[in-house]
A and B are shown apart, each in its own frame.
Chain A
Amino acid sequence: GAVVSQHPSRVICKSGTSVKIECRSLDFQATTMFWYRQFPKKSLMLMATSNEGSKATYEQGVEKDKFLINHASLTLSTLTVTSAHPEDSSFYICSARDRWAWDPGELFFGEGSRLTVL
């Protein structure tokens, strides 16, 4: 089955620093990847849609200068949390769509990255 690798799985950083999270599709090409944020015991909130070779589309209320998304290749998207603050602490999950998938709604999810900002 399709595998999406997310790294790092856990990261602790100090306020004011930037953190980069990588999302890789290991055995398929993904023209579109999605970044979600999940607060404890809450649902997944779509942050942005990452399209290979173009700018990401951000959901309403998500600061694009805060959460930088780059999708430079068909197998890699990165999310950089810039000038992190404690309120950015969360579980971030990426998902990827196989460019050749029959069902465009079927997504493969990464393992998630737990960010803690001190």
Chain B
Amino acid sequence: ELKVEQNPLFLSMQEGKNYTIYCNYSTTSDRLYWYRQDPGKSLESLFVLLSNGAVKQEGRLMASLDTKARLSTLHITAAVHDLSATYFCAVVPRSGYALNFGKGTSLLVTP
């Protein structure tokens, strides 16, 4: 059974600070996705990481993938309140095609 573990599950941080969310998974995969979800809303795609060493950046968010370590990180730089949301990573195993989601990281950015 594929396991996707995110940590932390809850994160409260001050505006202007940096932090990293981690996503570990238990099976071989070259495809990892990060999503954002606002309360009561569906998922918004943030990043698609398709190879070892892939790094993508959009604004204050940067995502990376290490397939050998089975680890992806989502780094937040100089957080702002608008980044408050729940962030999910999801993995597609090599042997399958369905997305398997982590439990999500609920981020709250405070003044």
A112 to B103, CA, bound (A): 18
Closest to B91 in A: A105
How many pairs of A and B residues are in contact by the CB < 8 Å rule? 49
Q: Mark A45-59, 1 if CB is under 8 A from B, else 0.
A: 010010000000000
B88 touching A43 by the CB < 8 A rule? yes
Indicate whether B33 reaches chain A with its CB closer than 8 angstroms: yes
A44 touching B48 by the CB < 8 A rule? no
Q: Mark B79-111, 1 if CB is under 8 A from A, else 0.
A: 000000000100010000111111110100000
B99 touching A93 by the CB < 8 A rule? no
B contact residues, total (Cβ < 8 Å): 21
B31 touching A105 by the CB < 8 A rule? yes
Could you tell me the distance in whole angstroms from the C-beta of B70 to the nearest C-beta in chain A? 16
B97 touching A43 by the CB < 8 A rule? no
Could you tell me the distance in whole angstroms from the C-beta of A32 to the nearest C-beta in chain B? 8
A111 touching B97 by the CB < 8 A rule? no
Tell me which of B99, B100, B103 contacts A107 (CB under 8 A).
B99
9 contacts between A and B (CB under 8 A): A42-B103, A42-B104, A43-B102, A105-B33, A106-B33, A106-B45, A108-B45, A109-B45, A111-B42
Q: Which residues of B contact A (CB under 8 A)?
A: 31, 33, 35, 40-43, 45, 48, 50, 88, 92, 97-104, 106
